[in-house]
Amino acid sequence: MAISRETRIERDSLGAIAVPKEAYWGVQTQRALENYPISGLRTDPALIDALAVIKQAASRVFGSLGMLSPEKSDAIDRAAQEVRDGAWDDQIVVDAFQAGAGTSLHMNVNEVIANRANLLMGEVLGSYAAIHPNDHVNKGQSTNDVIPSAMRLAALELTEVLDAALEELQSVLCGKAVQFDRVVKSGRTHLQDAVPIRLGQEFDAYASAVARARKNLWAAAEDLKVLGLGGSAVGTGLNTPSAYRRKVIAELRILTGHEDLSAADDYFEAMQSMAVFTALSGALRNLAIELGRIANDLRLMSSGPRTGLHELVLPSVQPGSSIMPGKINPSVPEMLNQVCFQVIGCDATIAAAAQAGQLELNVMMPVIAHNLLLAQRILANAVDVFTDRCVEGIEADVERCKAYSEASVGLATVLNPVIGYAAAAEVVKEAVAKGESIPALVKAKGLLAEDRVGRVFSTPALTEPYTL
């Protein structure tokens, strides 16, 4: 919506202020806009949806309790649904870095819903004659119970989005494990030659790492389903009827589709502690570490094409240099690495903010919410791109892999049971000095019968435990 320079005057406890005439926000949002022109970063849509669905659920509950008229309850319900549908995203304008606890964002949503509900009831923007943002949209609520509850719902939504992306990545990695199962390559430890491994085994390990990260992510996300709505300002539930806590959770189960939402056992802890968010953030950090490690491996194994390993051929997605013709870089894994670094930084911010809580409230919730949802959002997007534009199209340079596996000095390990570790080490030193392969040197020195050399150094057989 285009906002003209015409204004209307609204008032709060601090006095009068000019608000853009066509804006759906009101006086408290306007003050926040003027007070906090910090980053230009806006609220994640998942958090907007979560705030709106809480307003929707509350309006239904207070309507059923006779504390809102049917007309007011319905208007708030309809306006909140429009916010959930994204119709008024451009009206949620408060900066990500704002006053503590998220009061500015909370009031931004309250004011947008109130103004839209007033229009639905035939009133004008800024009148609040029928629906007031504090008295009606925020009835029985406080920033202090709404914001942490909305954060939980938003993070739960984005956990599902991220998990869907990870599930697809895991599936594609499993497919690559099958595709590359018979491709034998040199293993490497300390970036030095080691015993052979199958490329499929490496990719199967990547799939297992993603599967474990998904499991840990959902284990951390379970506590997101426990909400402290009804605690109001400090957890006591002041200004809320006793039936509200139970009824608002029941409405949220219907509105969100999350049938396992539950009320907190301790409303004070639900407001004071950010542990649920640090746990989830920790799982995201660990996921980022795993994904970054996998991206590093792909970059290393695709290095070259002439002077690197070049065991893998990654899809070409864009030219790699502004000066070197024909250069192709591992651009998508590089992107994933950068996203993983950002997620690790988000986790550090969340940890610092979570320990900064004092007494009945942690006022650092806005920066926790911003970093948590940012981490989830960019991880989900990055994993989608990584899967579709990189992993799906990976091919193996089979001959390169075979040559490395056959040339590796790690093959000497198979001599340990035959001639002993010390003698095998001498073979390695001589092979390196002469530039010969281990099998060729063993054959030349007569360390094994000639008919045994081929069997002992059969690289596919060296990638599994031997049978006694």
Residues catalogued as catalytic: 321
The alpha carbon of 152 is separated from its chain's Cα centroid by a whole number of angstroms, namely: 14
Q: Is 88 within 8 Å of 116 (Cβ atoms)?
A: yes
**Whole-angstrom distance, CA of residue 89 vs CA of residue 48:** 8
**Whole-angstrom distance, CA of residue 362 vs CA of residue 100:** 8
305 preceded by a cis bond (ω within 30 of 0): yes
- Residue 241: burial class (beta carbons within 10 Å; 0-12, 13-18, 19+): middle
**Whole-angstrom distance, CA of residue 401 vs CA of residue 457:** 16
Residues 6+ apart with CB under 8 A from 86: 45
Instruction: Give the up-direction half-sphere exposure of residue 385: CA atoms within 13 A in the CB hemisphere.
Output: 17
